Structure 1
Amino acid sequence: MKTTFALALGIAIVGQVLYQVTQKTVHAEAHPVLALIAFYLVAAVLSLPLFFLFPLQGSLSGGIGQLNASVLGVALSIVLIELGFLLAYRAGGSLSSTYVLSASVVTCVMLLLGTLFFKEAVTASKLAGIGLCFAGIWLLTRPAA
């Protein structure tokens, strides 16, 4: 595994754990839309210093010009993810299973989309992984013994 990939994945994992724990602890009476706006404003401020680590290679207008419609898709997905987890936790979702359940379903969908639209290979080990996802979903959603 490349060091840069491992570092990037480590950052994503730390971020995801922090995200789930803090999302679960948002005050139950906080208005969901105001919470989302606050999340994004603080995230924007926290993003600005990252220009020191990842400086622009050209002008700001040139960098903005390289952005495309994917920005809208990512922005929409962020809103859906944030709102979905906020509401799921408020509806009683547990910290130990809500993310795992959603990640298992997303994994199955990503395998399908990767195969159909990006010509990614389906292997026996990937199918076994999907089987494990389904087993995990079953274990997470069955009534407690």
Structure 2
Amino acid sequence: MTFNYFFPLVLVILSNLIYHITAKNTPNNINSFLSLTVTYVVGAIVSVLMYFIISKPSDVLKDINKLNWTTYILGLVIVGLEIGYIYMYRVGWNISKGSIVASISVAILLVLVGTLFYKEIIGMYQVSGIVFCIIGLILINLH
């Protein structure tokens, strides 16, 4: 296993950690959608800069024409994800519970999606993992 294998995982973990801390600390007295707008402007600037730094584009219009539906749907669901977490924290979810409940729930659903749509194999270890995740969800939500 190399740096190229683990770097994306570490990036996701650190980004998620900072993301949840930041979402939890987004002030309640500001408009969430205005906050997201500024967030996305910053993200757009960083993305454009990285595009030009990393890809050495020869023709931006050709690259734009290569985009498909996934780019647009991802944009829509990212807004739902962001506003969902901000609202979760605003209505009182603890940072320690909200993220893990959402993540475990998504993980369980992704096992099913992987099996049904991507022909991934589910074995007894995965079934056991799902059962333990469900038990974990129950336990973490007990007072």
TM-score clears 0.5: yes
Amino acid at match of 1:71: T
**CA-based RMSD:** 1.4
- What is residue 77 of structure 2 aligned with on the other side? 77
Cα contact 1:56–1:63 (8 A) shared by 2: no
1:101 and 1:137 in contact (8 A); partners too: yes
Q: Equivalent pairs: percent with the same residue?
A: 27
Q: CA deviation at 1:49?
A: 2.7
Is the partner of 1:96 in helix, strand or coil? helix
Which residue in the other structure is 1:123 paired with? 123
Q: Which has the higher helix share?
A: 2
Shift of 1:18: 0.7
Query: In structure 2, do the counterparts of structure 1 residues 133 and 58 end up closer, same or farther at CA, with 3 Å as the change threshold?
Result: farther
- Which residue is equivalent to 1:29? 29
CA contact (8 A) 1:20 1:95 kept: yes
Q: Output the amino acid matched with 2:3.
A: T
Shift of 1:2: 4.3
How many residue pairs align between the two structures? 143
- Distance apart, 1:98 and its partner CA: 0.5
Q: Deviations over 1:24-71 (max 9, x none)?
A: 000011111111111111111222331355214541111111110011
1:87 CA drift (Å): 0.3
Show structure 1 runs of 5+ residues with no match: none
Deviating above 3 A after TM superposition, structure 1's stretches of 4 or more consecutive aligned residues are: none
SS at match of 2:114: helix
Distance 1:62 1:15, change over 3 A: same
Matched, 1:103 2:88: no
Helix, strand or coil: the match of 1:49? helix
Find the counterpart in structure 2 of residue 87 from structure 1: 87
Amino acid at match of 1:111: V
Q: Which amino acid aligns with 2:135?
A: A
SS class of match (1:54): helix
User: Which residue of structure 2 aligns with residue 46 of structure 1?
Assistant: 46
CA distance in 1, matches of 2:60, 2:101: 40
**TM-score of the pair, normalised by structure 2:** 0.93
What is the letter of the counterpart of residue 128 of structure 2?
A
